[in-house]
Chains A and B, each alone.
Chain A
Amino acid sequence: MKTAVVKPAFDVAEIRAQFPILKELVHGKPLVYFDNAATSQKPRRVIKAESAYYATINANVHRGVHTLSTKATEAQEAARETIRRHINAKHVHEVIFTSGTTASMNLAAFSLGQLLLKKGDEVLISGMEHHANIVPWQMVCERHGAKLKVIPVTDSGEWEIRRSDDQMIRQFTERTKILAVSHVSNTLGTINPVKELIAEAKKRGIITVVDGAQAIAHLNVDVQDLGCDLYAFSGHKAYGPTGTGVLYGREELLERMPPWQGGGEMIDVVTFEKTTYAKLPFKFEAGTPHIAGIIGLGEAIRWMEDYDKAAMAVHEHKLLEHATKELLTIDGLRIIGTAKEKVGVISFVIDPSSASGSGVHHYDLGTLLDQQGIAVRTGHHCTQPLMERFGVSGTTRASFACFNTVEEIDSMVTATKKAVKMLR
């Protein structure tokens, strides 16, 4: 259980003051940063923690007998403990550092494929997955002769979990060995019922992997409560440095999983005949890790905890509701992803309208918003199958973080109206 501490009241102005980048101008206009689902901005504390490592304790971890190496090791391992506590993992060695969610998913897919998949077996994913939770599975399925199965997505952007009369989820078959799904959709913002699906999978002995890239900054993630076997996330979408990520794994499973990459740090004894591997978590951490980044990530997690993730979530939900309401006043604007449970992500397209004329291409809109200082994402968001499902070539996506404001949303809506007027 997390210890209760007194947290400061949520004050967006005070939070904004901690993000140096928010003072930058873009094309001479104040930056409005709405691309947090791609990467969030970093508070000063995180930037300082990362640079303090280089300035004062830079050394390689786990190897040296000298003082700096000990300090660097302690700082990195303190970050591991912070993350363990934050996601409520049982053991600190269940937290594996990677370079990001993509590396975590590749590790999971390669290693689980090796351990579990035989010809004719199935891996079940969903239709809203990021390419990083599709392509690694396709690669291992091809290698082991297994099949990739997909949970369809409804018009509102939710899983269509089909049930038979006795409430069994029909997408699971006797050959399903692995379930790999996202906690939150990066394109739609949908918060998926992962806990429920994991419970069903566990009844059938299916190994469960969760892509938590979009959840970690916005939801309280408790891996024991979710019951998942593996949980992957990136540091840089949660106010931490780029090039950092985590793969949480249940101890018993990690012990059985073969290593993914070989090299230094992950070995016990090496001879030319045979190598034995190091204990967890080092078995999965070949090579020198991104020590500075990991220390920064630990700081980012502590920063989020200090400011109370639940209060952040309330604020972000307010932003989502305001943006949804205001954007819908634009003629022809259609939101892709209207699930009941969403984080602060809005994907939209602007269709032709009988009153106002032609539709607006997301790329044109993104360009003209950028000219007005507003950073949004345009395109397929690394979810091409999902774009096909909705019959669109791409969307414009605004994704919010705790430092965004209602006023910024109003600026975006005004800027969008101006751009649409120019383009129609």
Chain B
Amino acid sequence: MSTSSTLVQAQQEVVDEFAMFSDWQDRYEHLIELGKDLPLIAPEHKTDGNLVRGCQSRVWLHATPQNGHIHFTADSDAMITKGIVALLVRVYNDRTPQEILGASTEFIDRIGLREHLSPNRANGLSAMIDQMKRYAVAFSSSTKAS
């Protein structure tokens, strides 16, 4: 879904999608549904090393380079967190490191999600984006080196 559009378009899609919900219950049910579509991390990558620091529930994020793009898989033991990471993976998955590093993150504020998250969870969300960007930095330098 995301690969057919640009990263900015994918962000806008997410914003439009969440704008349809006026009620907390619908918004959270949608988030939980998103979690079910998450490309799941392989069991061997569900390691402590792949845990995102700064989240109260456990979130694993794994990245592999594929033809100059980064492919993300993830999981979480909490369903709402899983929905949040799924939403990020949907936007950032199979992009080039340059696209990921160049992308603004203000779409998060436009979803209106941050105000519904506890500060801990909002920090966790930032931690997930930071982790994705760190992978992008790592893969862009390794691409240059080779």
* Contact (Cβ within 8 A) A363 B81: yes
* Contact (Cβ within 8 A) A393 B116: no
Tell me whether A314 is interfacial, beta carbon within 8 Å: no
Contacts of B80 in A (CB 8 A): 363-364, 367-368
A371 to B23 Cα, complex, angstroms: 10
**Which chain A residue has the least Cβ–Cβ distance from B78?**
A361
Using a Cβ cutoff of 8 Å, how many contacts connect chains A and B? 38
Given the known A-B contacts A27-B24, A422-B28, are A367 and B121 also in contact in the complex, defined by CB atoms under 8 Å? yes
**Proximity string of chain A (390-424) to chain B, C-beta cutoff 8 Å, 1 when within and 0 when not:** 00010000000000000000000000000000110
Tell me whether A370 is interfacial, beta carbon within 8 Å: yes
Report the minimum CB–CB distance from A205 to chain B (whole Å).
44
Report the minimum CB–CB distance from A423 to chain B (whole Å).
6
A contact face: mostly helix, strand, loop, or mixed: helix
Count of B interface residues, CB-CB < 8 Å? 17
Report the minimum CB–CB distance from B81 to chain A (whole Å).
7
Contacts of A363 in B (CB 8 A): 56-57, 78, 80-81, 121
A378 to B77 Cα, complex, angstroms: 14
Given the known A-B contacts A361-B77, A363-B80, A423-B79, are A368 and B28 also in contact in the complex, defined by CB atoms under 8 Å? yes
* Contact (Cβ within 8 A) A364 B78: yes
* Contact (Cβ within 8 A) B25 A361: no
A367 to B56 Cα, complex, angstroms: 12
Contacts of B77 in A (CB 8 A): 361, 393
Contacts of B118 in A (CB 8 A): 367, 370
* Contact (Cβ within 8 A) B24 A361: no
A423 to B36 Cα, complex, angstroms: 11
Tell me whether B29 is interfacial, beta carbon within 8 Å: yes
* Contact (Cβ within 8 A) B79 A364: yes
Contacts of A152 in B (CB 8 A): none
Contacts of A332 in B (CB 8 A): none
Tell me whether A379 is interfacial, beta carbon within 8 Å: yes
Contacts of B79 in A (CB 8 A): 361, 364, 423
Report the minimum CB–CB distance from B117 to chain A (whole Å).
8
Contacts of B81 in A (CB 8 A): 363-364
A370 to B118 Cα, complex, angstroms: 9
* Contact (Cβ within 8 A) B32 A379: no
Contacts of A423 in B (CB 8 A): 32, 79
**Which chain B residue has the least Cβ–Cβ distance from A423?**
B79
**Which chain B residue has the least Cβ–Cβ distance from A358?**
B79
Contacts of B121 in A (CB 8 A): 363, 367
**Proximity string of chain B (70-85) to chain A, C-beta cutoff 8 Å, 1 when within and 0 when not:** 0000000111110000
Contacts of B78 in A (CB 8 A): 361, 363-364
* Besides the known contacts A361-B78, A364-B81, A367-B117, 8 further A-B residue pairs in the complex with CB atoms under 8 A apart: A361-B79, A363-B121, A364-B78, A367-B80, A370-B118, A379-B56, A393-B77, A423-B79
Which residues of A line the B interface, CB within 8 A?
27, 361, 363-364, 367-368, 370-371, 378-379, 393, 422-423
Which residues of B line the A interface, CB within 8 A?
24-25, 28-29, 32, 56-58, 77-81, 116-118, 121
Provide a sorted-by-A list of 13 A–B residue pairs whose CB atoms are within 8 angstroms.
A361-B57, A364-B78, A364-B81, A367-B28, A367-B80, A367-B121, A368-B28, A370-B118, A371-B24, A371-B28, A371-B116, A393-B77, A422-B25
